[in-house]
Chains A and B, each alone.
Chain A
Amino acid sequence: MTDLAWIDAALVSARPQAVAALLRYFRDLDTAEEAYQEACLRALKNWAANGPPRDPASWLIMVGRNAALDGVRKRSKQVAMPAEDQISDLDDAETPMAERLDDSQYRDDVLRLLFICCHPELPATQQIALALRIVSGLTVKQIARAFLVGESAMEQRITRAKAKVAGADVPFETPGAVERSERLGAVMAMIYLVFNEGYSAGPNDPRGDLADEAIRLGRLLLRMFSNEPEVMGLLALMLLQHSRAPARFGASGEAVLLEDQDRRLWRGALIQEGLALIDKAMRHRQTGQYLVQAAIAALHARAARFEETDWAGIDALYATLERLTPSPVVTLNRAVAVSRLHGPQAALDMIDPLADKLSGYFHFHGARGGLLLQLGRAKEARVAFDKAISLANTAAEAAHIRMHIDRLIAQSEQAAAPQLPAR
């Protein structure tokens, strides 16, 4: 990597901690962001000339804070602060800051920064946009591209979201244990939203990068809450899902089902990390929805071939998940395991009662069509697939259902054609 690319990577990785500390100091998001920007500009000049500091985050916090204060002083025509090269000497700038920024404070800073993006009145997409802007530091242009909207529309959306957040009471006092765990829950949900936004994107879709970003945020969270099994579970879940990314789409962009994926393409390092985290989390003997979902993903990852999948284990884990977070979608997923264990009829019996609740859900009709097809009920399968295709969210989803329908049409034409005598 070039020096500039290296500095850029250092700035990106220091950003959450730096902005979070500046936010605590200035108690205003815009001021904190401006101070951080200013510090980055100075870093580009200073680090290129003098080499990077040992602790980039502390450097940025110190320089950003002084720059913002300097700006205030200039406006009030007072004496300017010393130039940044005078305060950027390693010992001067970092030692006092590092002492003040002990781990627990840093942890609450970053958690707060993540938490303000989870404002309950913000719709999910705005939470994600805000987190990507404030915590990850993506540009409005990058975020707009990810959400397939114009830059000015996204700018407005983020400005509005920020205004809402600024109007809310952002709690700056150190949170108590209960509060901290509530914040942690909201933040985990938000990070998983970011991940799903990326995971549900098709191939060559810029949104795909959001999955990497979510994993980065997950690792950040785990570094701060290193003994929380649910945080391990969340990160493991994302890693295991994401490990399949290179195998999930075919050459023409169509979705490749789990059973048809070339498992040699799965990313081994991500799987190893995910499995290691699950092992660690299990030691805590504490169940949670992310950990159970991660364990399900792990059973898929452990099977070298689809035929070796431990469906009984997956069924049992889904039963646990149904208890923890009852939802028709969980039952629908469980039905897939049940169909492998006890056949399509058992699975159909399980999901038919969900028809009312899931009538607008693509995967319900897709899965139902697949089960009906296995049972040889082609006409009903066709109805289900037609329904599914009308509800498809992505081109890849639609293409997959289309394939089933085309096969059905081909079969019925074959059946209608005069039968040729067997050779």
Chain B
Amino acid sequence: MMYAVLCYNDEQMVLGWTREQDDAVMNALSMVHDKWEKAGKLKPSIRLLPTSAATTLHKSKDLVIDGPYAETKEALLGFYIIDVDNLEEGLQFARELGKANPGGAYELRPINLYLPGAPIDGAYENERQYAPPKEAAK
């Protein structure tokens, strides 16, 4: 079963983390990522830039608005695509993430259609700055 695991948290607080705190959370998360990736169950992971960098198009009037669609205390900050045996396993993944990164909530949303699209050109490969080196992971 494929799920999108949507990550909601208090954005203001996450942005308030120091670089060290952020690195610590990302490092703890990368352990979980690594484990599930090796098991073949973790597909793409995406961390979004702050909602202040977002732009929203309201379709009916072609109205372009600065900011996210929903101004909420807990914002959508990123998401994972996972392929797990059942909901229980998906929840287990979310629980492990939650231990590494407290606060907020994970929404597990079953996927209806998955189109992988064109391959990514590598521009974002440098962004894997938090992942442990492959050698070290072995």
Q: Footprint of B on A, CB under 8 Å?
A: 1, 3, 5-6, 9-10, 12-14, 52, 54-56, 103, 209, 212, 216, 219-220, 222-223, 226-227, 232, 235, 264, 268-269, 272-273, 276-277, 280, 283
Contacts and interface: CB of A to CB of B under 8 A. Distances in A.
A283 B129 CA distance: 32
Contacts of B65: 227
Contacts of A223: 12, 51-52
User: How would you classify the secondary structure of chain A's contact residues: helix, strand, loop or mixed?
Assistant: helix
Across chains A and B, which 10 residue pairs bring their CB atoms closest together, nearest first?
A13-B16, A13-B13, A226-B67, A276-B53, A227-B66, A13-B12, A222-B52, A273-B49, A226-B66, A273-B53
Q: Which of B16, B25, B103, B127 counts the most A-chain CB atoms under 10 A from its CB?
A: B16
B63 to A, nearest CB: 12
User: How would you classify the secondary structure of chain B's contact residues: helix, strand, loop or mixed?
Assistant: mixed
B138 interface: no
B102 interface: yes
Contacts of B129: 268
Interface in B16-41: 16-19, 21, 24-25
22 contacts: A1-B102, A3-B102, A6-B102, A6-B103, A9-B21, A10-B13, A10-B103, A14-B13, A55-B73, A56-B10, A103-B71, A209-B18, A212-B19, A216-B16, A219-B15, A220-B12, A226-B67, A227-B67, A269-B49, A273-B49, A277-B52, A283-B55
Given A13-B15, A273-B49, 17 more contacts: A1-B21, A6-B102, A9-B13, A9-B17, A13-B13, A14-B13, A52-B103, A56-B13, A219-B50, A222-B52, A226-B52, A226-B66, A226-B67, A235-B52, A269-B127, A273-B50, A277-B53
Interface size class of B (residues with CB under 8 A): 20 to 34
Contacts of B67: 226-227
Contacts of A268: 124, 126-127, 129
Contacts of A1: 21, 24-25, 102
A286 B64 CA distance: 16
Nearest to B52: A222
A70 B50 CA distance: 39
A13 B21 contact: no
Contact of A13 (B10, B51, B53, B126): B10
Contacts of B15: 13, 216, 219
A212 B73 contact: no
A236 to B, nearest CB: 9
Contacts of B103: 6, 10, 52
A216 B22 CA distance: 14
A12 B18 CA distance: 11
Contacts of B64: 283
Contacts of B10: 10, 13, 56
Nearest to A275: B53
Q: Which of B51, B53, B124 counts the most A-chain CB atoms under 10 A from its CB?
A: B53
A54 B66 contact: no
A195 to B, nearest CB: 16
A268 B125 CA distance: 10
Contacts of B19: 212
Interface in B89-135: 102-103, 124, 126-127, 129
A245 B66 CA distance: 28
A184 to B, nearest CB: 15
